[in-house]
Amino acid sequence: MLILTSNDDANIDVTMSKWFVDAQLLELRRVSGRFMMQGVLRGSVMMNLQITIFSAQAAAAGSPSPLSFVNIALMFPVAMFVAYTENYKAFRIASLILQGKHEAREEEDIEETKRQTFHRLLLLAVANTVNSCLLLYCALKLYMAWKCKHHMWNVSGCVE
């Protein structure tokens, strides 16, 4: 059995427009769930933990490691790229669903389909807000690791 997913634009335009709406909604759930796992958990939360370890090592050694700094700094573009691609796919799929570009079926409940699509997009918006706040916090925490005397920072300020 061939399983198709929304891995690229051509697949979204050509293949997914022929899917039933249930399959499109399932793909929208998969893409938004993947963003929660990859974007928020693997990207922002893991980066926050790495910055905490980086700060603790810098405090113990007396100075931050430039190589560790570069490693963490290079994670920011990757996290932003994951957020962009997953959101782009989700909005493309949602536009297919809302425009009615899918195979018709008997007894289709259009209002329920729209409700489920908007619900998934709302969850995606919340995930994007959380992800953006965590990335901003990570960037600030990484910057303050260089500025604070003991290389440790949290929301209340430099940790002494």
pLDDT tens digits for range 85-121: 888 888 888 888 887 755 555 555 677 888 888 999 9
Q: What is the Cα–Cα distance from 37 to 128, expressed in whole angstroms?
A: 12
Q: In this predicted model, what pLDDT tens digit does every residue of 143-158 receive, in sequence order? A: 888 888 888 888 888 8
Tokens of 47: 């980066």
Q: What is the Cα–Cα distance from 14 to 2, expressed in whole angstroms?
A: 16
Q: What is the Cα–Cα distance from 87 to 120, expressed in whole angstroms?
A: 11
**Does residue 12 register a pLDDT over 80?**
no
Q: In this predicted model, what pLDDT tens digit does every residue of 26-72 receive, in sequence order? A: 888 888 888 888 888 888 888 989 998 888 888 888 888 888 888 88
Q: What is the pLDDT of residue 104?
A: 54
| 101-105 own/partner pairs: CB under 8 Å, 24+ apart | 101/17, 102/16, 102/17, 102/18, 102/19, 102/20, 102/21, 102/24, 103/18, 103/19, 103/20, 103/21, 105/20, 105/21
Query: Cβ-count burial of 59 within 10 angstroms (0-12 exposed, 13-18 middle, 19+ buried)?
Result: middle
Q: What is the pLDDT of residue 64?
A: 81
DSSP letter for each residue of 79-134: HHHHHHHHHHHHHHHHHHHHHT-SB--TT--HHHHHHHHHHHHHHHHHHHHHHHHH
Four-residue CA torsion sign, 51, 54, 60, 63: negative
